[in-house]
Structure 1
Amino acid sequence: MSHTPKKENTVLKENEYSPVILRQTPGASQKNLTGPPRVARDIVADLYNNIQHWNDSHIKGAQIVKQIAILKSEDHRNYSPQLEEYTNDLFSVVLSLDIYRKHFEHYNTQIKAVSKLEKNSEPIFISLNATALANAVIDIANAYIAEFKLKKLVLENIAHSKNKHEAMFYAACWAHQTRITSSINVTLEALLVETGFRPIN
């Protein structure tokens, strides 16, 4: 005869929970940081600031791309002075984005060096060790580097669109920033919290 296990009614009392003690990490106070924690925090700050500048240029470029797409949609053979002016303006935007791309590549190099120096597996701020923090920075930087390549592709091709659909496709490619996913944005916000630039809610 088989016995069916009976569900035990176990109620934990409040005083039966053991307290959780957080270890004090080198970057916990976020004040007077030195060594790898300071460098890592500075890299995250620079990364965030460059992304803000990137966003400004992206929005400016989106307005220009929209105007080019309108001209090419009306007549794909349009190579008017106005189109040339818009294309030159877009070229200037891409040049500014290229500066930020170089910065992102530099952050990759810097954060890799930090992870090699800080070989301790313990968190350097709240929860991430140097390797995990470096991987997060690299993922974000690489997303923007990949997005730059797409924006350069739009610059090189939108003025030569053969029809309305092609022009609108390039305009959409610029506007939607498909390489910069919601996951990348979440990772950036997590880094800001991790390094003390955002409060823990």
Structure 2
Amino acid sequence: MLKKFMDAHPEMDFSKAKFKSPLKIQGNLTGIPRKLKDFAADWHNANLKWAKENQAGFALCNNIGNIKIESFVGDESLPESLLELCDGLQSIIEKLHKLLEKMRQWYQSVVGIENLLKSQKKADDIIFQTWPIRNFVQAAEELLSMYKKEFELKKTICENICHSENKTEILFMLAAWKHEPYLEDAVAVHTQAMIRETGHET
């Protein structure tokens, strides 16, 4: 997967979405509006958590990469600290996987709401300002798709960076982890659109 990704992205011109502070649930909504407002806040806060783990993971990758590259130049044996760093990176992957599983659950939840509204002939109703339920489903579907691809890339990097014997490959993996190529600007666009639609204050 890594080689295929490297071949497909020679320019390495990736952008990174940025998000504001975590949201707190406000108001006294009930039923579907309450669930969707919570849903929007969950996605926003998940973006922040992902960004935090990405930063921590990059720091580990950078240390791993430096140790590996120095060993190429000096023909030195790898220090025991490398194993600890690799274990730490695996821990980051596990945290990201748990976050991804939550995203899957949120997507399934909003699909369930859509099916309920369809059964009630209310799928086209505007719930807050301008969106019917389908807009929430589409936003979640695209967000989940991007995060799934990014997770697979990070998992591949975790599986390879500690064993790579190629400086160019290591540098590529560092850049790929840092810039998150699969998390396009649409991540921020979809999330912020849901936040505005549901009336959150950021």
User: Which letter does structure 2 place at the counterpart of 1:91?
Assistant: Q
Cα deviation, residue 97, structure 1: 1.0
What do residues 126-180 of structure 1 show as CA deviations (whole Å, max 9, x unaligned)? 1110011111122112222221111111100011112110111111111111111
Identify unmatched segments of 5+ residues in structure 1: 1-29
In the alignment, the residues of structure 2 paired with residue 31 and residue 64 of structure 1 have an alpha-carbon distance, to the nearest angstrom, of: 41
Contact 2:65–2:171 under 8 Å retained in 1: yes
Contact 1:104–1:145 under 8 Å retained in 2: no
User: Which letter does structure 2 place at the counterpart of 1:97?
Assistant: L
Aligned to 2:113: 114
Q: Please, which of 146, 150, 160 is the counterpart of residue 147 of structure 1?
A: 150
The answer to whether the aligner puts 1:40 opposite 2:36 as a matched pair is yes
TM-score (norm: length of structure 1): 0.78
The answer to whether the aligner puts 1:84 opposite 2:83 as a matched pair is yes
In the alignment, the residues of structure 2 paired with residue 35 and residue 70 of structure 1 have an alpha-carbon distance, to the nearest angstrom, of: 52
Q: 5 Å matches for 1:59-98?
A: 59-76=55-72, 79-98=78-97
Identify unmatched segments of 5+ residues in structure 2: 1-25
Of the structure 1 ranges 33-42 and 175-184, higher mean CA displacement relative to structure 2 is found in 33-42
In the alignment, the residues of structure 1 paired with residue 127 and residue 149 of structure 2 have an alpha-carbon distance, to the nearest angstrom, of: 29
Aligned to 1:10: none
Aligned to 2:190: 187
Determine which structure has greater relative contact order: mean sequence separation of CA pairs < 8 Å that are 6+ residues apart, divided by chain length: 2
Report how many residues are paired.
Answer: 170
The answer to whether the aligner puts 1:105 opposite 2:104 as a matched pair is yes
What do residues 18-66 of structure 1 show as CA deviations (whole Å, max 9, x unaligned)? xxxxxxxxxxxx8432222221111111122222111111110011111
